[in-house]
């Protein structure tokens, strides 16, 4: 897995202050993408054990409680998904009550086996490519209206897509 960066304090991706992990490499080429620097599969750098350790030990640095946001790039492409699975497993093992958010250009219903395994460890999934013609800056956690903010635990439990109640 390759990453673009890790941000300790991200107030733009998730609710409140989150730590964010930005993966490197994206196959979707959405028109109007805000983050073209993450497209290249040779850019950024390899994710290391030190990076995982950093996330696990610094997430609550300075007594600020944070959840984990994972975005990119495309965290769930073949090149990155296995690494993200390991990050999510380790994170939830240490912090079962912290939330994990993932943003992906793939659509929930079309997930492959590795992507489905990741669902078992995360709380919120924002799915679907960014569509410039459906761009809406007032939307919460998403950039275009085709994207969905999915409550993953409820979705798996009820076996149907349940959108996150953002007023909860």
Measured from the CB atom, the residue of 127 and 151 that comes closer to ligand SF4 is 127
Measured from the CB atom, the residue of 82 and 132 that comes closer to ligand SF4 is 132
Sole window of 22-30, 49-57, 58-66, 113-121 interacting with ligand SF4 (rule: CB under 6 A): 22-30
d(CA 136, CA 14) in angstroms, rounded, equals 17
Measured from the CB atom, the residue of 38 and 115 that comes closer to ligand SF4 is 38
Residues 106-165 that bind ligand SF4 (CB under 6 A): 129-130
Minimum CB separation from ligand SF4 for residue 69, in Å? 13
Computed over its alpha carbons, how large is the radius of gyration of the chain? 15
d(CA 125, CA 103) in angstroms, rounded, equals 6
Instruction: List contacts with ligand SF4 (CB under 6 A).
Output: 26, 28-30, 33, 35, 38, 72-74, 105, 129-130
């Amino acid at each position: 897995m390759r990453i673009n960066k890790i941000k300790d304090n991200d107030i733009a991706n998730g609710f409140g202050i989150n730590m964010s992990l930005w993966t490197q490499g994206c196959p979707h080429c959405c028109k109007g993408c805000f983050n073209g620097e993450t497209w290249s599969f040779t850019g950024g750098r390899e994710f290391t054990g030190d990076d995982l350790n950093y996330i696990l030990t610094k997430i609550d640095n300075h007594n600020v409680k944070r959840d984990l946001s994972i975005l990119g790039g495309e965290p769930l492409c073949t090149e990155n998904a296995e690494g993200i699975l390991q990050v999510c497993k380790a994170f939830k093992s240490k912090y079962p009550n912290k939330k994990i958010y993932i943003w992906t250009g793939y659509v929930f219903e079309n997930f492959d086996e590795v992507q489905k395994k990741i669902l078992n460890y995360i709380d919120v999934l924002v799915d679907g490519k960014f569509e410039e013609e459906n761009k809406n800056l007032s939307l919460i956690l998403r950039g275009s209206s085709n994207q969905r903010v999915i409550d993953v635990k409820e979705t798996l439990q009820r076996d149907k897509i349940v959108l996150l109640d953002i007023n909860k």
